[in-house]
Amino acid sequence: MKLYYFQQSRATRVRWMLEELGVPYELAPVDMSKGEHKHPGYLKVHPMGSLPAIEDNGVPMFESAAIIMYLADKYPEKRLAPAVGTPERGEYYQWILFAMTEAEAPLVTIAQHTRFLPEAERSAAVIERSSKRFKAVAAVLEERLKGREYLVGNSFTAADVVLGGVLFLASRVGQLGDDLPTLKAYSARMLARPAAKKGYGG
């Protein structure tokens, strides 16, 4: 198993998952600061030239949440995904897609308009709209996690890796404030896991 890795990228959440599984893997560094993710060789692995991507037995795969779900299913004995066909499996899909499409999307927009776009292209109005949207999504997650240790069921699953990764981004862009005490505590709990620390390069 090869993980294409850059520490300031979503490859960290895939590394976190691999560490939770405790399976052997090799890191293939891709230095995004030098534009290596757009080199022709890497574009054969990920056609958009984004991170992360893996190669498993020579077969490439991209999209962080898809990789994390694939890994959970590949090692069922590690019990990081509810059984297929159970209600918990439905919740697992629901919350993973909610985290990726509803929570991460406005956070990415905020990151672009506060960090990555040239100054002239940044918009305070876009930041405000995205922040409002994230607050609405975060309120749903806050409610879900009240009285719960984990996002799905009674044990840690790949859904916690996905949401943990998204909340890491939320805190980086200043969206995980004291108005979200449950979510903030959950995020701290998840990121304190030894596998998460390893994933994030700690």
Ligand X SMILES: N[C@@H](CCC(=O)N[C@@H](CS)C(=O)NCC(=O)O)C(=O)O
Site residues for ligand X per CB under 6 A: 9-10, 37, 48-52, 63-64
First vs last Cα of the chain: how many Å apart?
21
Compare residues 65 and 145 and give the one whose CB is closer to ligand X. Answer: 65
Chain residue whose CB lies nearest ligand X: 50
Q: Which two tokens stand for residue 79?
A: 């019990």
The C-alpha atoms of residue 157 and residue 20 are separated, in whole angstroms, by 10
Compare residues 37 and 184 and give the one whose CB is closer to ligand X. Answer: 37
Q: Which two tokens stand for residue 4?
A: 């294409």
User: Minimum distance between the CB of residue 175 and ligand X, rounded to whole angstroms?
Assistant: 16
Residue type, 33: S
Q: Which two tokens stand for residue 56?
A: 């498993």
The C-alpha atoms of residue 48 and residue 32 are separated, in whole angstroms, by 13
Q: How do strand 2-5 and strand 26-29 relate by DSSP bridges?
A: parallel
Compare residues 9 and 131 and give the one whose CB is closer to ligand X. Answer: 9
What long-range pairs does 41-46 form, CB within 8 A, spacing at least 24? Answer: 42/4, 45/4, 46/4
The answer to whether 58 touches 33, Cβ cutoff 8 Å, is no
Compare residues 28 and 182 and give the one whose CB is closer to ligand X. Answer: 28
Compare residues 33 and 154 and give the one whose CB is closer to ligand X. Answer: 33
